[in-house]
Structure 1
Amino acid sequence: MRGKAALATGVASLLLFFSSMPICQAKLGLGEPKVSQIEFYMHDLLVTEKPTAVIVAEANTTKSSPTLFGQVVVVDDPMTEGPELTSKLIGKAQGLYAPSSQSEISLSEAVNFVFIDGKFNGSTLSVMGRNPILYKERELWIIGGSGAFRLARGYALKQTYSFDTTTLNAVVHYNVTVIHC
């Protein structure tokens, strides 16, 4: 099964690469498309002195829902090079997520990765998708970007690195493949 998934990922990457090439070259004069691999850790801190994830809305049935269906959380999470919060800060993950299933712990996410250091400083990537958080690896799609990531396409694979059941604070590892002009 793993071989088929790898093949599908490779084919999808090639399709994205070739479908974005004419836009970069002919229409916008931005040259050949580039493929970048970016790896980082995001720290989602709900219960701490300075939370980076805040519940901003709940349905009247959320408290009785085993999946927290109907809750909305806004985030301004640090993105670091390593899994420790003290690692070098490279950006912020800003956006929102909401539990979106009544039967499974799954989130709908819309987040901007805002890079504040390194070669992508000042650039952003916009990601979106379904995040069934109990799966070992989840995939979000890249729907655009700015700066170095104009006309970005690709995907972000995420895995939970650590999760504290008392505070609900999480560290998530991201491996991002992006095609851009």
Structure 2
Amino acid sequence: MVIAMAARTSILISVAVLLTLAACTVQAHHASSSCKRKLHCGPSKFIFYTHNTVYNPSVDNREYFNSIYSSPPNVSFANPFGFGIVNTFEDPITVGPSNNSRLLGKAQGFYVLNSFTEYTLFHLFTANVTEGKYQGTIDIFGQIREAEPVRYLTVVGGTGAFLGARGLATCTRVEFDSTPPAKWTLSFDLKLYY
């Protein structure tokens, strides 16, 4: 009789625990369903152009530069590819390849020359888009070989209209002028997902 009562009590406790767990699961599912928010999805394709002018004291362009190189590292061996040189920039972003195109914002970041054998650059920057239909930031990074006509970087995040963006940034040099101060224009064709 004692064993039968213990078995009955054990079954009742088990049933009570299962019913409690089932009720909690239903309640949690209902709470999470009612609190779900749909994330804003930005554009799947976004194109912009950056315009870079390097500071050069020999032509005194302090009024209109947006990029500056650090000094080369103090090493006692030949460094033909500028290993360790850092360039910090704040380039205007436009809708077209011309400097006079409509302004979208600024690209702010840096790149480091990081190879002893060729011009290879590690880029890290944020495109701050403050004008136009889509506004927010796009974070881009990766390593490129300067010799390649088309370069690929990674989109690793964003805010605003680009919240949570991931994807591919295809970078192409549109124009380059090495006459001091050096100037160039790059196009960025972004394929984004959220």
TM-score bucket (shorter structure) = 0.7 to 0.9
Answer yes or no: is 1:45 the counterpart of 2:59: no
Out of 94, 100, 105, the residue aligned to residue 86 of structure 1 is 100
Return the index of the structure with the highest Cα Rg.
2
CA distance in 2, matches of 1:139, 1:170: 18
Query: How far apart are residue 82 of structure 1 and its match?
Result: 1.4
Q: Structure 1 residue runs of 4+, over 4 Å off?
A: 31-35
> Equivalent pairs: percent with the same residue?
29
CA distance in 1, matches of 2:127, 2:90: 10
Out of 154, 158, 165, the residue aligned to residue 152 of structure 1 is 165
TM-score scaled by structure 2?
0.72
Question: For residue 66 of structure 1, what is the aligned residue in structure 2?
Answer: 80
CA distance in 1, matches of 2:70, 2:111: 11
Query: How far apart are residue 37 of structure 1 and its match?
Result: 0.8
Report the 3-state secondary structure (helix = DSSP H, G, I; strand = E; otherwise coil) of the residue aligned with 1:118: coil
Residue-by-residue CA offset, 1:89-110 (whole Å, 9 max, x unaligned) = 1111100101111101110000
Aligned length, in residue pairs: 155
TM-score scaled by structure 1?
0.77
Letter of the structure 2 residue corresponding to residue 170 of structure 1 = W
> Per the alignment, do residues 108 and 28 of structure 1 end up closer, same or farther by CA in structure 2, a change over 3 Å counting?
farther
Question: For residue 142 of structure 2, what is the aligned residue in structure 1?
Answer: 129
Question: For residue 111 of structure 1, what is the aligned residue in structure 2?
Answer: 125
CA distance in 2, matches of 1:63, 1:54: 24
Query: How far apart are residue 65 of structure 1 and its match?
Result: 2.1
Query: How far apart are residue 56 of structure 1 and its match?
Result: 3.5
Residue-by-residue CA offset, 1:59-108 (whole Å, 9 max, x unaligned) = 11399522111111111001111111111111111001011111011100
CA distance in 1, matches of 2:36, 2:170: 29
CA RMSD of aligned residues (A): 2.4
Unpaired runs of 5+ in structure 1? 1-24
